[in-house]
Amino acid sequence: MTDSLTLQAPDSPDVVHHDGGVYLRVPTPLGRPALYLLPPVPQEFDRIDSIVMDMDGSSTDTEKLVLRAMRDMMWEIQQDTQFKFADKNETDDGDYPHIIGDSTTNHVRYLLSKYGGRVDDRKLSAGYLRALRRHGKVKSRFEFMERDFVSGDRKVFEDSKLRELLSSESMPLEVADKTSLELTDQYNVRMDRLQGAIDIYYANYHIILEGIRDGSVQEALIEPMPFLAEFLSVSKELGIKLGLVTSSVQKEAEIVMPIVFQGMGFDTPLMEYYDCIVTASNNEMENYLKPHPMLYDIALTSMGYQHQNQRNGSFGVEDSTAGLKSVRAAGISAVAVIHPGTKNHDKSFANLGTARLDGQERGGLRDVMVRSKLFLKEGSEQRKQLDEILWKIERSCQLSADS
């Protein structure tokens, strides 16, 4: 563990000092913020027990995929294929800080708040009906539609075409599009904007994923972050438990991570490297994802670190402000890595600092391993093991280069 705990409290309006404690303030749907204690955390370690890692932007680069699916969603609900996300300018940060690194709900909520005046509710409602087909059970598809129904003729629920649309697993996409629009027009259906846009986003996301898997999408939209393979291998050789934590749903992680492993040349199941994989599907409260600490708390608890005094040998790897806040609120140290989409995010909650890029535009895992030595104290037993492993890797690379 470590005997050198320090309280690194960033100068942030989200940090509250109260009654001798330091707390992170996070908004909730209830209108009153949640307050999470920020306990003292290590700056260096005698031993690392576990490392918890974000997926998108820290372990994997799926943000091109996310942005394409989000763009396709905006094209669909605005009927405007010329739409582009706004870049940063002198007076505005642009769209990217608001649509990367947080939960999908918050990303879509931001886009609707900014571009809502351009939304075509007819197309959004029809797109929602088509997107409902991605939900696993037919019964749940009708339940979601009932929940999100805003206005229109309720006789739509009795129409055999709706049952066929939501029940058929083999209906071609173009037929589903046509049927959804016919039902929307016939019954003047209007669905909840936020839920409708979210479901359309996920439907597009999974259409793209399936295209990547079957080869019809050739763009390199999913890649491992630089040196992820080495980082995972070295950590496991040191006996460190690894947790993967994401605000994405489980189905996304189940598709994305095998593609990432394949890209790294790993012909092994995910769970041979990860001791736990925690997704938004593990947390029933969609509105309490990052920056709330729930997902990281679930990961740490599942690996055997339930109480704060058991977490002083753990740290988290994140690239976004929301993720770094989530790690710290879970009671552990945090290091920031860099992704182009989140490079302008506030990294002040990373008490272990921000990794150097060594000439690359993204990542930092190599720096965390090689320069920072996983923040292990010099002379500690695990630090000695790490130095030996890194020497062997360097020697092996040199031998390969010489051969």
- pLDDT, one tens digit per residue, over 117-173 is 999 999 999 999 999 887 767 888 898 899 999 999 999 999 999 999 999 878 888
Residue pLDDT, tens place only, 306-338: 999 999 999 999 999 999 999 999 999 999 999
Percent of residues, the chain, with pLDDT higher than 90:
64
Whole-number pLDDT of residue 5: 63
Residue pLDDT, tens place only, 247-305: 887 878 888 899 899 889 999 999 999 999 999 888 776 678 899 999 999 999 999 99
Whole-number pLDDT of residue 403: 41
pLDDT at 401 over 50: no
Whole-number pLDDT of residue 93: 83
Joined tokens for residue 367: 């720096």
* CA angle (151 as vertex; 148, 153 as ends), nearest 5: 115
Whole-number pLDDT of residue 285: 67
Say which DSSP state 341 is in: G
d(CA 131, CA 125): 10
Q: Which residue has the tokens 């582009």?
A: 84
Residue 75: what residue type?
W
With contact defined as beta carbons under 8 Å apart, do 149 and 191 qualify?
A: yes
How many DSSP H helices and E strands does the chain contain?
14, 14
Mean pLDDT calculated for residue range 190-206:
93
Joined tokens for residue 151: 């206005």
CA torsion sign for 362, 94, 245, 258 is negative
Whole-number pLDDT of residue 18: 85
Q: Domains in the chain, please, with CATH?
A: 5-62+223-402 (3.40.50.1000), 63-214 (no CATH)
Q: What are the C-alpha distances in Å from 89 to residues 94, 115, 163?
A: 7, 18, 48
Alpha helices in 330-403 (DSSP H): 365-370, 381-402
**CB neighbours of residue 106 within 10 Å:** 19
Joined tokens for residue 249: 């749903």
pLDDT at 394 over 90: no
Whole-number pLDDT of residue 102: 72
Whole-prediction pTM value? 0.77
